């Protein structure tokens, strides 16, 4: 039921996007650069990083993405449907070792930032296929199933909600569509 709801949201976005694209008129003047999804998440405006010393700035788009990612990691940590895949990470955190958490937060934030159009960051982590194959990423405890992916997507929506971003936010729906498009790379069984 959850999957149908999520997928129907995704297909609705794609349908609206296609409709809007077909309705757009071409202009004879040079068009302004099209705002990216990253722009609608806050873009490159520099704001105070709430987790760093006063005066430390961060792009508003990156801050929102990082906040949602970090909240989502905490939601996943408490989600018995899928937290068994994260035993390496959770064991480290249980021993007050945040190195793996910080690296995962950075990699996921870079991944989503770049995927939504950020120009000032690069993703240096594993490919989606290698990140989710225990043979190439020993931090991944067992391959993910379609149900795991459904739970992950639901947890992402919950994580976004913890930052005041709900499914009435078009940008979140667009991120959800990107995430769903990666299902076949993540689910390898």
- Contact residues for ligand HEM, defined by CB under 6 A: 82, 85-86, 88-89, 100, 104, 107-108, 111, 125-126, 131-132, 139-140, 144, 148-149, 152, 179, 182, 186
Residue 112 beta carbon to ligand HEM: minimum distance, rounded to whole angstroms: 7
Q: Which is nearer to ligand HEM, 162 or 183 (CB)?
A: 183
Whether residue 6 contacts residue 154, with contact meaning beta carbons closer than 8 Å, is answered with yes
User: Rounded to the nearest 10 degrees, how much is the dihedral formed by the CA atoms of 65, 136, 76, 62?
Assistant: -10
Question: Judged by CB, which is closer to ligand HEM: 143, or 162?
Answer: 143
CB of 109 to ligand HEM, least distance (A): 9
Residue 29 CB partners (closer than 8 Å, separation 6+): none
Three-class SS of residue 59? strand
Which helix (H) or strand (E) is 48 found in, with range?
strand 46-48
Task: Using the structure block, give the residue that is written with the tokens 């955190």.
Answer: 93
Residue, CB closest to ligand HEM:
125
Least distance (Å) between residue 85 CB and ligand HEM: 4
Report how far residue 187's alpha carbon sits from residue 189's, in angstroms, rounded to the nearest whole number: 6
Q: How far is the CB of 14 from ligand HEM (least distance, A)?
A: 16
* 47 or 107: CB nearest ligand HEM: 107
Q: Tell me, what DSSP letter sits at residue 105?
A: H
CB 32 to ligand HEM: min, Å: 30
Closer by beta carbon to ligand HEM, 140 or else 157: 140
Q: CB–CB of 139/88 below 8 Å? A: yes
Give the helix/strand (H/E) hosting 177.
helix 170-181
Q: Which C-beta is closer to ligand HEM: that of 47 or that of 128? A: 128
């Amino acid at each position: 039921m959850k999957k149908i709801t999520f997928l129907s949201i995704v297909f609705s976005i794609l349908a609206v996007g296609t409709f809007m694209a077909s309705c757009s008129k071409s202009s004879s003047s040079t068009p302004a650069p099209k705002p990216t999804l990253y722009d609608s998440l806050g873009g490159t405006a520099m704001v105070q990083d709430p987790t760093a010393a006063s005066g430390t700035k961060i792009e508003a788009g990156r801050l929102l993405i990082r906040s949602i990612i970090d909240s989502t990691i905490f939601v996943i940590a408490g989600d018995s449907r899928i937290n068994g895949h994260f035993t390496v990470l959770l064991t480290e955190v249980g021993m007050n070792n945040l190195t793996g958490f910080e690296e995962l937060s950075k990699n996921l934030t870079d991944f989503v930032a770049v995927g939504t159009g950020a120009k000032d960051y690069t993703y240096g982590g594993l490919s989606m296929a290698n990140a989710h194959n225990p043979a190439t990423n020993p931090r991944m405890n067992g391959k993910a199933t379609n149900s795991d992916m459904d739970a992950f997507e639901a947890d992402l929506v919950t994580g976004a909600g913890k930052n005041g971003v709900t499914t009435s936010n078009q940008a979140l729906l667009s991120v959800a569509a990107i995430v769903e498009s990666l299902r076949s790379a993540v689910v390898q069984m």
